[in-house]
Amino acid sequence: MTTHRIYYTDASIATFDATVLSSETVGDRAHVTLDTTAFYPTSGGQPFDMGSLGGRAVLDVVDGDDGVITHVVSGPLESGQAVSGVIDWPRRLDHMQQHTGQHILSAAFDRTCGVRTESFHLGTTTSTIDLAREVTPAEIADAEALASGVVCENRPVRVRFVTEADAARLPLRKEPARSGTLRLVEVEDFDVSACGGTHASQTGEIGLIAVSGWERFKGGSRVAFVCGARALASHRRLRDVVTGLVRQLTVAPEEIGPAVERMQSDARAHLKTIRQQREAAAEHEAAALVESGEDVGGFRRVLVMRSGWDAAALKTLAAAIVMHPGCVAVVVGDDTPAPLVVARAVDVAFDAGAWMKHVTDALGGRGGGRPEMAQGGVTASADDVLAVARHSVR
């Protein structure tokens, strides 16, 4: 026996009475079927209703191929038992707002720029429609404006059942996927679609339809939107972010973009200055370090530890040292892992890349490079790295 679906003809019903036809225990849950239900099962891009059934929590609602709806509940019920069902209304209302909003937004894209909606998904925070081609920001604004107008006009949304032959004579926005009797959802003088979902009864119940973002997707556009209470929540989130930025940057909201651009360009200029000063300082310092280096087997070994330096700064110093002929530089920082740079002057037969591999094999870490310069991070202290260097850089 197929389940009678109360929501098909009246989506405003939040409580109902039914008889349990079967209850099968599965782990700590039960799979319950009823003669009639107002619970919407996951289908057509819309998630299932939650709530309670005979005092048990409804955790999932599944639509079977045989037309039977299965309620996954928190514990078993008695077969033949009379039960009351209570729908979690805020959740259902949210789904109805998003779903009806989707019909209107899809129809608006169809009317303003002749682009079809290929698919629809209702998520827990935002919902999306996938459009058949890419749309421009101006086209999105046009569709959004038309959809908002339809909400403000508070048009009736009606459900009716028609035969396939009758449906063929109606201006359906999309070819119906099913055959046989069709359930049509009609936004008065605006849109007719075949759909099995739950919808608002007046467009005004949607409150607001707002596009929250878009991206390229499979040759078309994926447009995210929010309706009703979600639109208000989204507005509040964005307002709080903007208010925070206005306070931090002490600029008007419309000046946030230019202010961030200025900060980025200032930061780039500062980095450039730091780099130049670091190079000048490294040249100066390198001369003194080379002076105090040790002559070992045909070259001058210069070992350096610099506390708090990052890899870029260590590399600048190593490069400055090996500008001096006959030198090999091992420059290590004291971070964890210890950043390490090894380099050789062009006239020295020493393989920096091979030595880096020797150190990381011996002490752990990662690194690599060419014979003239290599860098990496070693999972040991800077002192341990220098001890290995004293033994093996020769």
**Least Å distance between CB 225 and Zn ion?**
14
Alpha carbon distances (Å) from 11 to 28, 152, 198, 380: 31, 21, 6, 66
| CB of residue 187 to Zn ion, shortest distance in Å | 10
Whose Cβ is closer to Zn ion: residue 157's or residue 389's?
Answer: 157
Burial of 145 (0-12, 13-18, 19+ CB in 10 A): exposed
Residue whose C-beta lies closest to Zn ion? 195
Handedness of CA 231, 233, 237, 243 (dihedral sign): positive
- Of 91-99, 122-130, 241-249, 332-340, which part binds Zn ion (CB under 5 A)? 91-99
> By CB under 5 A, is residue 195 in contact with Zn ion?
yes
Cβ proximity to Zn ion, 197 vs 228, nearer residue: 197
Identify which of residues 155 and 344 has a Cβ nearer to Zn ion in the complex. Answer: 155
Residue count, binding to Zn ion (CB under 5 A): 3
The strand pairing partners of 83, in sequence order, are 18
Residues 261-290 that bind Zn ion (CB under 5 A): none
Q: How far is the CB of 106 from Zn ion (least distance, A)?
A: 10
Could you tell me the smallest distance in angstroms from the CB atom of residue 185 to Zn ion? 5
45 touches Zn ion by CB under 5 A: no
Find the shortest distance in angstroms from Cβ 194 to Zn ion.
9
Q: Listing from the earlier edge strand, what are the strands of the sheet with 157-162?
A: 157-162, 182-187, 191-194
Least Å from the CB of residue 251 to Zn ion: 44
Nearer to Zn ion, 176 or 377 (CB): 176
By beta-carbon proximity to Zn ion, the closer residue of 101 and 197 is 197
Mapping DSSP onto H, E and C, the string for 181-216 reads CEEEEEECCCEEEECCCCCCCEHHHHCCEEEEEEEE
Q: Give yes or no for a cis peptide into 337 (omega within 30° of 0).
A: yes
47 belongs to the binding site for Zn ion (CB under 5 A): no
Q: Centre a 10 Å sphere on the Cβ of residue 130 and count the other Cβ atoms it contains.
A: 16
Computed from CA positions of residues 109, 110, 113, 118, in that sequence, does the dihedral angle turn out positive or negative? positive
State the Cα–Cα distance between residues 84 and 349, nearest whole angstrom: 87
Q: 195 vs 340, which CB is nearer to Zn ion?
A: 195
Give me the 93-132 binding string for Zn ion, x by CB under 5 A, dash otherwise: ------x---------------------------------
Closest-CA residue to 391 (of 294, 311, 325, 307): 294
Q: Which residues contact 265 (CB under 8 A, 6 or more apart)?
A: none
Among the residue ranges 11-19, 63-71, 192-200, 259-267, the one whose residues contact Zn ion (CB under 5 A): 192-200
Q: Which phi and psi (to 5°) does residue 230 adopt?
A: -65, -35
Which string of DSSP letters, residue by residue, matches 362-373? HH-EEEEE-SSE
- Which of these segments, 81-89, 194-202, 339-347, 368-376, binds Zn ion (CB under 5 A)? 194-202
* 147 contacts Zn ion (rule: CB under 5 A): no
Between residues 195 and 210, which has the closer beta carbon with respect to Zn ion?
195
Q: Can residue 197 be called a binding residue for Zn ion (CB under 5 A)? A: yes
Give the nearer residue to Zn ion in terms of CB position, either 99 or 315: 99
Contact in structure between 306 and 313 (CB atoms under 8 Å): yes
Distance of closest approach, residue 99 Cβ to Zn ion, in angstroms: 5
Two tokens, residue 95: 């789904």
Return the number of the residue (226 or 345) whose C-beta is nearest Zn ion.
226
Site residues (vs Zn ion, CB under 5 A): 99, 195, 197
